[in-house]
Every structure is written in C-alpha cells, then in structure tokens.
Amino acid sequence: MPSIPEHYPVMLSESLDGLAITPDGVFLDATAGLGGHTGAIARKLDSGLVIANDRDLLTLELARANTADVADRILFHHGPFSMLASAVAAAGRGQVDGLLADLGVSRYQLLTPDRGFSFLTEGPLDMRMDQSRGITAEELVNKSAEKALADWIYQHGEERRARKIARAIVRARPIRSTLHLADVVERVVPRTSHLHPATQTFMALRMVVNQEPEELDALLELAPDLVKPGGRIVIISFMSLEDRKVKESFRDLQREKQGAVITRKPLVPSEEECRRNPPSRSAKLRVFELVSG
C-alpha cells in the first residue's frame, strides 16, 4: 500500500459544532475517507455510534486503522451516497442524529498514481473512487462521442474551451495514461493562470466516471429522511456547482417547513487552517437542522 499523506480533516471543529454531537447519539459520516472526521466524532461519544461510509474500499481500510482507538464506536459501510439507507439499516437504525458529508476528493486518492486522478504523475486512466465497479476514465475518453466529451467538460468542469479539448482528445485516441491526457489538453489550452490547463478537464471526467452529480442529488434527497427530527445535516463542498446545489436544497427544505438553515452564509476555513492545509481554502460548510418532532 502506498505511503499515506498527512491527513487534515477539513473544518473539523466547525463540522463537530455543526453536528451538535451528544455522547449517546448516532451519526453518519457519509464520506469517511481516511477517518479524520469519523474518529473525531467517535471520540466525543460514550454509548453512541458513528456509521462510517465511503465508496472507496481502500480508504475504508485506512480509516479503520486510523480509528482503531475507538473501533467499538464505529461501524464501517462500503457504498455510494445512493446506498446510505442501507448503511443506516446495517447499523440496526431507522434514522441518525446527524449526517456529515465532505464532498472533496481525498489527498490519498489524488497522490496515489495508480488511482489515475492526477495530471501531474504517470498512471492509468482510472479515476474510479470505487475500483470494484463502473467504467474507467480510459474507457470514457476513448469510447465516448466528441459531443458528449465536450458537454461533460463544459458542464462539470466549467471549461469554456471544452469543444477544442474534446476534439483534441478524439484525434489523439487511443489515450492510455494520465500524463498522455494531460499533454493532449495542454497542447490546446494555454497556461494563463496558476492552474494546470488540464485541471478542469480531469475534474469533469472524474465527476462523470463516479456519477458525482447524480450521487449528490441522491444524498440531498435521502438526507432529510435519514436524519431524525431535530437532527442536523452538515455538508462541506469545494466546487461552486456543488455548493449551489446544497444551498438550494437546504432553502427548499426550509421553504417546505421541514427545518431551518443554520448557516445563513456558508462557513469557510480559518486563515490558520488554509495555511496548514492549502487544499481546504475552497471549502464551504453549510448546516441544516430538521424540525423537532
């Protein structure tokens, strides 16, 4: 197993405060990752439980190791957001007292070349968060129609040069590795900022491979039923499209009188956290509290 990068759970204190943890409560960490948030929640419990869910089996193994000191308070579950009801049912519960979802991609995934997420290191074009199922990015870029590629890159990556990139990808087929794809994109997209020219393309393809927009929709639809009356939903997003979805979902729930938005404006990381963990700088945290029964 590759070396594990130092892990900083994003906006940890804000997440714990947002969940309003009680020692005997049951909480669902929908994106356990390396176990940072999961372990912190578990250490605030005595008779309570954390259901730690993730669609990546490898990170679940690491999370299990990283939270061994509180193993008796954690139940691990493997699956995407659309299977969260199964995670709660597996714990013998109907609902939980709070739900947390950190929508960011873990540094472990990004920094492991074999996973294929990074345009900076050579690796297979995989990009699957769950390597046990689904199509790979290699299949996506080599078999999809040019228009479909352009639409995905434009819609999910907000890349205005999507058509030019899609055309270049089709002409360069077969594309077999991360660096090959990055080079194809870089040849048609000039470097005009601190971002690598392939950043938005890789992000868009990753979102399609993992059906991230659809899974976020499933999370937002399921969460109000999975959380008890009076419980809280805490979601950390890193992209404007995702944050907009969360914001609108919470507002709709409030309009339907299912609860109240606790964060009128999203919380953002402190300057100290951004210095310690630069990838956290784009995080936005929103909290919704369901109406008490």
pLDDT per residue over 109-120, tens digit each? Answer: 888 999 999 999
Q: Using an 8 Å Cβ cutoff, are 18 and 12 in contact?
A: no
Residue 1 has pLDDT above 70, yes or no: no
188 and 235 housed in the same domain = no
Q: Say if residue 5's pLDDT is above 70.
A: no
Check whether residue 218 and residue 284 sit in a common domain: yes
Region 86-103: mean pLDDT is: 96
Residues 239 and 281 in one domain: yes
**Residue reference for tokens 């992209």:** 239
Give the Å distances, CA to CA, from 205 to 36, 122, 136, 258: 27, 17, 10, 35
pLDDT digits (tens, 9 = 90+) for 153-172: 999 999 999 999 999 999 99
Give CA separation, 49 vs 37, 77, 97, in Å: 13, 13, 10
Q: What is the pTM of this model?
A: 0.94
Burial class of 275 by CB neighbour count within 10 A (0 to 12, 13 to 18, 19+): exposed
Same domain for 101 and 25?
Answer: yes
pLDDT for position 195: 83
Structural domain includes residue 259: yes
**Is there a single domain that holds both residue 76 and residue 51?**
yes
The verdict on 21 and 94 lying in the same domain is yes
**83 has pLDDT over 50:** yes
Most confident of 7-11, 99-103, 108-112, 130-134: 99-103
54 and 197 share a domain?
no
Q: 32 lies in which domain range?
A: 12-108+213-290
**CA–CA distance, 69 with 34 (Å, rounded to integer):** 14
Rounded Cα distance between 287 and 21, Å, is 13
Domain end marker among 209, 242, 273: 209
- Residue 266 falls inside a structural domain: yes
Q: What mean pLDDT is reported for the chain? A: 94
Please check the confidence at residue 202 and state whether its pLDDT lies above 80: yes
